[in-house]
Amino acid sequence: MKRYLIIWLRMTLNSFQTILASRFGIIIFIFGKLLRFGLYLTFIYFLYTGTKGVVGYDRNKMLLFLLNFSFLGAVGQMLFREAYRFRTKLVSGEFDFDLVKPVHPLLKNLAGGFDLLDLLTMPVFIYVLYKVLSLINFNTSQFIFYGLLFMNGLMIMFAIHVSVLAFGIITTEVDHLVMVYRDLETMGRFPVDIYREPLRQFLTFAVPVGIMFTFPVKAILGLLSWQGMLAAFILGGLSCYFSLRFWNFAVMKYSSASS
Amino acid sequence: MRKYLTVFTVSWQNGFVYRLNFLLWRLRSVIVIITVYYFWDAVFRNGGVIFGYTRDKILTYVFLTLILRSLILGQRSMDAAGEISDGRLSNYLLKPLNYHFYWFTRDLADKLLNMAFSVIEIILLYFILQPPVFLQTNIFILIYFLLTVILAVILNYLLGNASSYFSFWTPGNAWGFWFLYLVFQDFLGGVAFPLDIFPKAAYGLIMLLPFPYLLYYPANIYLGKISGADIFQGFIIMLFWIGIIIWLLRQEWRWGLKNYQAEGR
């Protein structure tokens, strides 16, 4: 475990150096990310000048859904950015070199490209999230469940990225699939209650955007039943287990055809 | 002209080579529309008029953006940034073709391909979502609408290329400028939400920028929300921006080529 941590830190340091080599790019991306974030907040603010509530949620609650989505999404992208570069390695045969090293190939191909840009935007997300949370009434247990479900969401995100990489090994198609996931993820920007059935059930349990993004906020608002929480944790555990099984299956099928 | 026709045909055929890629790309567009559609459906679940829109009009707006996105915003010319960054541009400079027309032709092929598929999506989504459709019957409004769509196609191509050509100076940040452009497209172009939810002063300022004329303006002409002198004013602003960006593109190209070092070749 200690060895893996040292390797991850080394890879993270390398990733920082690569990103810092293009300082102008950092400014553009951070400006773009914060602008997008700010425009969404502005949109929600002005939307509620014309309407009192959307599917029963007032302005602060809707902002909380949006902020939780932005924060969790940014944490996921920060940790798993390397997945977006996997296809190039597959089609060029570079992936062969990762397989012969005495480290699990997922470490490098999933977590080897820690994204400094997302880390730099994080303080803004955390500050605004803290401000909105201070406007909402909740108790300690609700906050603890929020934290646990947030981590559970991150686990599901890990499982989805592993599955995308595994699918990539079999089909060499990664880029668009990971972007399809990102688009599906954006459906969690607002509570899944806005979608009508059967799409709502699909987004809650099949994708499962609802469990990742809507459930933590519902927990802190005291709107989530214990059955819902139990289902979320079971699904989180199962998704990790099956994604790793799928990865092992895919690696066995890897033919190294392009190398 | 024949060589551009060949570029068009090759580009069209290219779309069918990576079929899974293309289908997943289309799926992404559908997901975006479904998200926006259901959000507004939820906002208007209790009926009423919000920001001057009824439920029928807002859902028509969202549905209309599905069609217009494929036609106006679908483009391949973002790859020009990569070609400049890694030196592939040199290959084109040696060929007897105009690089701007080359990408415009490729964009048109891409738009046609996207349109062909979006027709299927529209039919499918129509039966799944069963949106209330507002049919515009005024022939003059339909002509204005068609004209603004043509101008929006040109404007989007110019704005996209202006973003790509910044790669002459910062080759490593090609995608950065595009990312910024896409953020402007989404939020100030009317993809994420109609712009008239903003207060009047902010709305007035936004309407002076080129981005609202990509989707928001054509869609609202169709819906009949923009009429009279506002149509004329919109045309003037569109033509103004097209002129400005053509000038900017020429300067970028002229100075960019002087700066171009064919890095990577």
Q: Convert the pLDDT of each residue in B87-98 to its tens digit.
A: 888 888 888 888
Judged against a pLDDT cut of 90, whether residue A171 lies above it is answered with no
Cβ contact A22–B172 (<8 Å): yes
Q: Which of A46, A187, A195 sits opposite B197 (nearest CB)?
A: A46
In a domain, B265, yes or no: no
The two three-digit tokens of residue B131, written as one number: 């949106």
How many structural domains compose chain B? 1
Domain ranges, ordered by start, for chain A: 2-253
> What is the interface pTM, i.e. ipTM, of the complex?
0.81
Whole-number pLDDT of residue A258: 63
Residue B176: is it exposed, middle or buried by C-beta count within 10 angstroms (0-12/13-18/19+)? buried
**A259 pLDDT more than 80:** no
Nearest CA in chain A to B198: A46
**Is B28 domain-assigned?**
yes
Higher-pLDDT residue of A202 and B250 is B250
The rounded mean pLDDT for chain B is 85
Quick one: which of A31, A39, A34, A36 has its CA closest to B202?
Answer: A39
In-domain check, residue B264:
no
pLDDT attached to residue A29: 87
Which helix or strand (DSSP H or E) is residue A203 part of? none
- The answer to the question of residue B35 being in a domain is yes
pLDDT tens string A201-251: 888 887 888 899 999 999 999 998 999 999 999 999 999 999 999 999 998
B40 belongs to a structural domain: yes
Per-residue pLDDT for A18 more than 60?
Answer: yes
CA A173 remoteness from chain centre: 20
Mean pLDDT of B24-30: 77
Task: Name chain B contacts of A195, Cβ cutoff 8 Å.
Answer: 38
Is A125:A66 a contact under the CB 8 Å cutoff? no
Interface test with chain B among A23, A28, A41, A115, by most B beta carbons within 10 Å: A28
Residue A24 at interface with chain B, using a CB cutoff of 8 Å? yes
- Give yes or no for A47 touching B (CB within 8 A): yes
Give chain A's end-to-end CA distance (angstroms, integer): 31
**How far away is chain B from the Cα of A2, in angstroms, using its nearest Cα?**
35
Question: Domain range for residue B252?
Answer: 2-259
For residue B265, what pLDDT is reported?
Answer: 66
Q: Tens of pLDDT along A46-97? A: 888 877 778 888 888 999 999 999 999 999 989 998 888 888 888 788 888 8
pTM: 0.84
Q: Is residue B158 part of a domain?
A: yes
Give CA separation, B14 vs A165, B18, B78, B100, in Å. 25, 7, 16, 19
What distance in Å separates residue A22's CA from the closest CA in chain B? 7
Q: Pick B176's closest partner by Cβ from A25, A43, A54.
A: A25
Q: What is the mean pLDDT of residues B151-155?
A: 94
